[in-house]
């Protein structure tokens, strides 16, 4: 009398085994297929226009480019050799052969050699291709770049100045490693990373004065204040917080293993805004002081050498941003073990 029940139970067990077997096979094929897609998309190519930008030999243009590279645009903070952080902060002119290791949750990102060296630098890359990289986030080989250079809305005039200057610096032979992505980074690169372009048609030139408009241009398109003082997802680079409300966590540039910094809230919120109640003089004096915390990733040195007019313009612009009530308890702290 138990035989039919036993047979039925045995059949159900066999069916379950077959179901699990085929489920496993299907999952295996899905994983293999996904892995293949991820690998095939590591070198995905994108199209983007080449801006009509040509390096100039005009000494005034080159001087403007030098000022931007070592000043507000702080190119040297990323493209100088590792170990020269204090020299860069002091305002000294340094080589720009790249190679610094940015350790992120997605892997290791290495800023490139931007000296005119023909084998390891930009010596064989056209002005238009460099301009395309800066404005549209597409490298000379067509691949999307990680959005560490937010100069997409920089004016044609300033973009020309930057490229003109780096064409004149001493060539340095330094082969920078390719970016090393971990598994998460490879997935991000395959499915998430895309070129970032200008928010509107970039201006031909921008008048330098002490207006809110020029302050916005400096803060958003040159000095990249928004890029650090707005919370971001370190895996994708996407903005996830209110503009200028702070909260973006960045590892120490001195000891990234043990210390971390967090950007303060720069909005004019009465309760939590770091600079609320500051007048223009207070703001200027703090910028002029430079770096007080050696671990800070902020380009205090380059920013401290901006003109009074530029600092005034940025101050005036920050008074116009939307107040956000967001308290940042600490801007520097030791990582938890």
Of residues 113 and 12, which shows the higher confidence score?
113
The whole-number pLDDT of residue 167 equals: 98
The whole-number pLDDT of residue 49 equals: 95
The whole-number pLDDT of residue 15 equals: 73
* CATH architecture, range 206-337: Orthogonal Bundle (1.10)
The whole-number pLDDT of residue 39 equals: 82
> What is the average pLDDT across 245-262?
90
Q: What is the pTM of this model?
A: 0.88
pLDDT digits (tens, 9 = 90+) for 232-248: 988 778 899 999 999 99
Of residues 251 and 165, which shows the higher confidence score?
165
* C-alpha torsion sign, points 311, 313, 316, 321: negative
Average pLDDT of the chain, as a whole number: 91
Q: Which residues of 213-240 are buried (b: 16+ CB within 10 A; e: fewer)?
A: ebbbbbbbbbbbbbbbbbbbeeeebeee
pLDDT digits (tens, 9 = 90+) for 14-71: 776 777 777 878 877 777 877 778 788 888 999 999 999 999 999 999 999 999 999 9
The 3 state secondary structure assigned to the chain is CCHHHHHHHHHHHHHHHHHHHHHHHHHHHHHHHHHHHHHHCCCCECCCCCCCCCCCCCHHHHHHHHHHHHCCCCCHHHHCCCCCHHHHHHCCCCCCCCCCCEEECCEEECCCCCCCCCCCCCCCCCHHHHHHHHHHCECCCCEECCCCCCCCCCCHHHHHHHHHHHCCCCCCCCCCCCCEECHHHHHHHHHCCCCCCCCCCCCCCCCCCCCHHHHHHHHHHHCCHHHHHECECCCCCCECCCCCCECCEEECCCCCCCEEEECCCCCCCCCCCCCCCCCHHHHHHHHHHCCCCCCCCCCHHHHHCCCHHHHHHHHHHHCCCCCCCCCCCCCEEECCC
What distance separates the 2 farthest-apart alpha carbons in the chain? 103
Residue ranges, comma separated, of all CATH 1.10.760 domains in the chain are 206-337
**51 touches 131 (CB < 8 A):** yes
């Amino acid at each position: 009398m138990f035989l039919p029940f036993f047979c039925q139970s045995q059949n159900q067990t066999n069916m379950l085994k077959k179901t699990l077997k085929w489920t496993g096979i299907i999952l295996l094929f899905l994983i293999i297929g996904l892995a293949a897609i991820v690998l095939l998309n590591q070198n995905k190519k994108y199209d983007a226009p080449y801006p009509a930008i040509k390096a100039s030999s005009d000494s005034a243009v080159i001087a403007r480019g030098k000022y931007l590279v070592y000043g507000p645009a702080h190119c040297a903070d990323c493209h100088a050799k590792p170990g020269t952080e204090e020299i860069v902060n002091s305002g000294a002119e340094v080589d720009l052969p790249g190679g610094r290791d940015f350790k992120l949750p997605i892997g290791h990102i290495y800023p490139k050699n931007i000296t005119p060296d023909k084998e390891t630098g930009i010596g064989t890359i056209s002005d238009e291709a460099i301009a395309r990289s800066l404005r549209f986030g597409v490298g000379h080989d067509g691949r999307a770049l990680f959005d560490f250079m937010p100069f997409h809305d920089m004016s044609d005039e300033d973009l020309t100045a930057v490229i003109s200057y780096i064409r004149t610096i001493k060539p340095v032979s330094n082969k920078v490693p390719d970016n090393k992505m971990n598994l998460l980074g490879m997935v991000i690169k395959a499915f998430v990373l895309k070129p970032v372009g200008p928010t509107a048609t970039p201006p031909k030139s921008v008048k330098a004065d002490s207006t809110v408009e020029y302050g916005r241009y400096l803060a958003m398109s040159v000095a990249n204040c928004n890029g650090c003082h707005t919370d971001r997802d370190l895996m994708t680079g996407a903005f996830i917080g209110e503009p200028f409300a702070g909260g973006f966590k960045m590892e120490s540039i001195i000891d990234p293993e043990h210390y971390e910094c967090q950007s303060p809230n720069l909005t004019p919120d009465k309760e939590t805004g770091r600079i609320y109640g500051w007048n223009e003089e207070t703001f200027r004096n703090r910028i002029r002081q430079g770096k007080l915390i050696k671990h800070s990733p902020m380009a205090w040195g380059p920013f401290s050498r901006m003109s009074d007019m530029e600092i005034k313009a940025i101050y005036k612009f920050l008074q116009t941003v939307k107040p956000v009530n967001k308290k940042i308890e600490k801007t520097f702290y030791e990582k938890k073990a």
